Amino acid sequence: MNLIIDVGNSFVKLAVFKSSKLLHKEVVEHHLILNQFNLLIKKYNLINKGIISSVGKLKKTQIKSIGKHLDLLVLDSNTKLPFKNLYKTPKTLGVDRIALVCASVEQFPDKNVLIIDAGTCITYDFVNVKNEYLGGAISPGLNMRYKSLNNLTANLPLLSSKKPKDIIGNSTKDSIHSGVVNGIVNEIDGVIVNYKLKYPDLTVILTGGDANFLSKQLKSSIFALPNFLIEGLNYILQFNTNE
């Protein structure tokens, strides 16, 4: 069995796979990672391999503690990957983006794929039919946009995401919802349109914490796959250990 640990900017996801089958998934706060890890290896005592992907803050002592219990792979720019990386600065490519590309290579082989991860940031990643990763884009995520309006102004309130009633906001709160949500939806739809002008046979994947909220409002045809990142991490682990 494989244990997947995805340390994000806001939360930690832990998942258990038996081969390619997802058996368990949970989301915890950063300070609970070791507690939940210990509970999982007791519950699933056949776990013998694991992978850690961290874009957040994970202490070396935490990694060392986890590594005592299983054969652990820490994903970084030196990890062997199942695609050709043409990114000009490969050492700065986020491990979360690497995992998403690996999932696309496994699940949508020999296709032009645009992966959109709507989380703390919105990332756009493109892999072509030749199994080449070309790059993409990074944009502020939903909550980041709400927070920036509150933090960088004197009078605008901090709001939680909500589908706008109308494109015209007739109150300050409605105007914020319209600006933030419609702005992101139009951005994503616009990016997809631009990619399809160059790659008409494009496959589009939407994943991440805000994927469900945003997918219902997009005009473009997409695959909404909430577990895409952890599936990519599991594939990387298999790719590096099943030789």
Task: Please check if 6 is assigned to a binding site.
Answer: yes
Task: Please check if 10 is assigned to a binding site.
Answer: yes
Task: Please check if 12 is assigned to a binding site.
Answer: yes
Active-site residue (options: 76, 96, 174, 189): 96
Selection from 55, 41, 62 nearest residue 121 by Cα: 55
Task: Please check if 80 is assigned to a binding site.
Answer: no
Task: Locate 55 and state its tokens.
Answer: 């874009």
Geometric angle at alpha carbon 25, from 215 and 113, rounded to 5°: 40
Task: Please check if 210 is assigned to a binding site.
Answer: no
Task: Please check if 76 is assigned to a binding site.
Answer: no
Geometric angle at alpha carbon 57, from 56 and 59, rounded to 5°: 145
DSSP E strands in 46-140: the ranges are 49-54, 71-74, 84-85, 113-118, 121-127, 132-140
Rg (alpha carbons) of the chain, rounded to whole number = 19
Task: Please check if 219 is assigned to a binding site.
Answer: no
96 in active site: yes
Task: Please check if 172 is assigned to a binding site.
Answer: yes
Residues labelled as active-site residues: 96
- Specify binding-site residues for ATP: 6-13, 120
What residue numbers does the annotated binding site for substrate cover?
A: 87, 94-97, 172
* Binding site listing: 6-13, 87, 94-97, 117, 120, 172
Q: List residues forming the annotated binding site for K(+).
A: 117
